[in-house]
Amino acid sequence: MPRTFTRAELESFRDREVPDLLPGPDGPELRLLFVGINPGLWTAATQTHFAHPGNRFYPALLLAGIVERRIDPAAGMSDEDRDHLRSRGIGITNVVRRATAKASELTPEEYRAGGLALVETVRRARPHVVAVAGITAYRAAFSLPKAVPGRQPEPLAGADLWVVPNPSGLNAHETVASLAEAYAAPARAAGILPAV
């Protein structure tokens, strides 16, 4: 059963960070690095990326076949869930590390600094493919106001770069099915899913 938090409890997690989900030095290779905008307060409270019960990230991964079993992170992700993601070659990080109630609370300076930090994370972790979940965040982080969703023309620190829709429940025009389709494309490029 998912944990519930009071508004005051969630507020106590403002500005906290959530550790990246990356393979260890002896772990499987990182094939696909998903990049969120920044942690929400629920994510910070559970220390689990995309944890809010209204977030469609994990249902979309399952529908696309990127993961092979249901992951319900609302109460915090289990070690088995983290190991499953790593075994599939999947990692997760954020453009901006600090938790907020809404992405609109982030400043342009935070986005730009986050873009620079993301380049360093990609250099260090060496994923085959990076998928940034949010066109607005991508545009702000890399000062590319005309960027469009999909595969980007330039790699990011040597990784194939994609921009995919954000899975937040606030992104109402996307469905689990449309997110699954969007996430499948970089997963195919990373070799997690077979080419079509």
DSSP 3-state of 94? strand
Find the angle CA(18)-CA(22)-CA(28) to the nearest 5 degrees. 160
Q: Determine the average pLDDT of the residues in 124-133.
A: 97
- Judged against a pLDDT cut of 50, whether residue 138 lies above it is answered with yes
147 Rama class: left (phi>0) / alpha (psi -120 to 50) / beta: beta
Residue with tokens 């607005």: 136
CB atoms within 10 A of CB 111: 22
pLDDT band at 2 (very low <50, low <70, confident <90, very high): low
Which is nearest to 127 in space by CA: 25, 3, 30, 22?
30
Distance CA 11, CA 29 (A): 36
Contacts of 188 (CB under 8 A, 6+ apart): 194, 195, 196
Range in 21-25, 41-45, 129-133, 154-158 with the lowest mean pLDDT: 21-25
- Across the range 96-117, mean pLDDT stands at 97
- Examine the pLDDT at 141 and tell me if it is beyond 80: yes
Residue 171 has pLDDT above 80, yes or no: no
Give pTM, 2 decimals: 0.95
Q: Give the other-Cβ count within 10 Å of 105's Cβ.
A: 13
Check if the beta carbon of residue 192 is closer than 8 Å to that of residue 66.
Answer: yes
Tally Cβ neighbours within 10 Å of residue 163: 26
Residue 50, pLDDT score: 95
Contact indicator for 36, 58 with CB cutoff of 8 Å: no
Mean pLDDT for the stretch of residues 136-165 = 97
* pLDDT at residue 123, as a whole number: 97
Number of Cβ atoms within 10 Å of the Cβ of 25: 5
Name the one residue in this structure whose structure tokens are 């590390």.
97
| pLDDT cut 90: percent of the chain above it | 87
Average pLDDT, the chain: 94
- Name the CA radius of gyration of the chain, rounded: 15
Of the listed ranges 73-77, 105-109, 162-166, the least confidently predicted one is: 73-77
Neighbours of 21 (CB within 10 A): 19
For the stretch 35-68, pLDDT in tens is: 999 999 999 999 999 999 889 999 999 999 999 9
